[in-house]
Amino acid sequence: MKSPPRNTIELLVRLRWPFAAIVGLLFALTRLVEGLFFDSAMETATGRAVDPIVWGVLAFAAIWIVLSWAIRQEQERLSTEARMLEALRESNERLELLYEINQRVASSATLDEVLDYAITLPARLVDAVAATIVLTDEQGQPYTARVVGLDATTLERARAAFGLWSTVKSPTDPVMLYPQHPCGWSACLIVPLIERGTQPIGWIEAFLKEGESARREIRQPLLATVASELAEAVINSRRRDRVIASVAAVERAISAERTRIARDLHDGVAQSLAFMRMRIDLWEDWLQQEPERLREEFVTFKANLRRQIEELRRAIFALRPIEIGQLGFGGALRRFITEFADQQDWDVEIDLTDVPPDLPPVLELAAFRFVQEALNNVAKHAQAQRVWVKLGVRDQGLIIHVRDDGVGFNPGVEPPSGHFGLRQMRERAAALDGQVTIISRPGDGTEVRVWLPLIYSTVTVV
């Protein structure tokens, strides 16, 4: 059913000619009657006939012009209302879509769910027959995260036709590309995924057919706004994934540390105490048969007991919380080294002057663990009197030196019994794309060098 304003215009258009004609005819008849009966100045019949006709035509023209002006004004008013209604409809649709995106993003638990929803939007907004979502990884290299409407071969051909991926730089503004040779698509709309105030993290490729170009032009700003919302969702999803990975890494680190302490206690203190318990069983016989031998046993027992007490102290010391948050990385590391050296009665030299002030938190924790493990190895195996600890930067990485003047060993052969810490350090360094170097010689001390890249590809600390 048509609206009343539209019916009014149609009625005026239909009645414009007959209404003007009727008014003109009535005006002419009135003028004719007036001339015949009341106007004695008319000299001839012809004059009396022409005069009404002239006035009738003038009346017809006047009525026609007035009605035409009214129709035009009504049409302009309706056109303005239509534009306003269209703008209001577009605005409501935009708000509904943004609300839908926010709801879907908020309910999406993973980045995959966000991308699965995002790939459906180009078809809805610009009638794209195919689309891709391209994201950049941490090294800035693009990769195709989602594809719809294309297989791998067709996608490669389409990108070649539009000259896509000629560079790896992400676009910063929406751009419409046209094929360099016939390929089955009329255009490709590239919309960057860029959050306000940040660098692009990828882009959307929407492949278009002919038709509805005007509507597509109108919808491009809306797609750009949607792309900004999606970029924020992708960034938040990645940040959430990193937090989850960090929490998992912390849990793995705690588990690994508990395993190490349990192994150290089992291989060290527990076995030594079990051995001493067996010796005490022998002492019950020696009390009557060889009382003098007990004196020597007591000396050995006291030495063993002293070593086990030191081992327990090291284990307890390792369980103390790291105070990086309170003292900063440099202050916490220096305090730990100093207290550990005091416990072992070492002379220690510490050089942290070349440590970068903006060291990533992951590397701070990793460096602390490497120093802690190296000092534990010195305490358990080196019989050292002096220890040197130095941290700095070399070859775009953090370098950690821990050196002692202890008994040393031959790194080219199987490590001495109980040297599980060296294996753990190598595993931790490999998880951070780093490396561990052991420099040692029997009787000449040991130096542990750990290199960790300042730009690394993983966030796992174990």
Give the CATH number, domain containing residue 374.
3.30.565.10
Give the pLDDT confidence of 145-158 residue by residue, as tens digits.
889 988 888 888 88
Tell whether 296 is covered by a domain.
no
Q: Which of 240, 274, 309 is the last residue of a domain?
A: 240
Tell me which residue of 308, 218, 215, 319 sits closest to 260, measured CA to CA.
Answer: 319
pLDDT of residue 9: 62
Q: For the chain, how long is the longest CA-to-CA vector? A: 174
Tell whether 435 is covered by a domain.
yes
pLDDT above 70: residue 363:
yes
Q: What is the DSSP string of 445-456?
A: -EEEEEEEESS-
Find the angle CA(418)-CA(419)-CA(420) to the nearest 5 degrees.
90
User: Under a CB-based contact definition with an 8 Å cutoff, are residues 444 and 422 in contact?
Assistant: no
Q: 363 with 402, same domain?
A: yes
Mean pLDDT throughout 54-64? 63
User: Under a CB-based contact definition with an 8 Å cutoff, are residues 223 and 126 in contact?
Assistant: yes
Tell whether 77 is covered by a domain.
yes
Q: 114 with 175, same domain?
A: yes
Q: 143 with 193, same domain?
A: yes
pLDDT above 80: residue 293:
no
Q: 44 with 100, same domain?
A: yes
Q: 129 with 19, same domain?
A: no
Tell whether 76 is covered by a domain.
yes
Q: What is the CATH number of the domain that holds 158?
A: 3.30.450.40
Give the pLDDT confidence of 329-360 residue by residue, as tens digits.
888 899 889 988 988 889 999 999 888 888 88
**Spatial separation of the C-alpha atoms in residues 71 and 77, rounded to whole Å:** 10
**For residue 163, is it left (φ>0), alpha (ψ between -120 and 50) or beta?**
left
Q: Three-state DSSP class for 144?
A: strand
pLDDT of residue 433: 84
Tell whether 293 is covered by a domain.
no
pLDDT of residue 460: 37
Q: 363 with 443, same domain?
A: yes
Mean pLDDT throughout 417-425? 65
Q: 128 with 99, same domain?
A: no
Ranking 237-246, 260-269, 361-370, 410-419 by mean pLDDT, the lowest is: 410-419
Q: What is the DSSP letter of 218?
A: H
The CA–CA distances, whole Å, from 146 to 113, 130, 140, 151, 204 equal: 11, 11, 18, 11, 10
Q: What is the DSSP string of 3-51?
A: -HHHHHHHHHHHHHHHHHHHHHHHHHHHHHHHHHHT-TT--SHHHHHHH
Range of the domain at 24: 4-106
Q: 43 with 175, same domain?
A: no
pLDDT of residue 404: 94
Tell whether 263 is covered by a domain.
no
Tell whether 280 is covered by a domain.
no
Number of domains, the chain:
3
Q: 47 with 178, same domain?
A: no
Tell whether 248 is covered by a domain.
no
Q: 334 with 451, same domain?
A: yes
Q: 22 with 115, same domain?
A: no
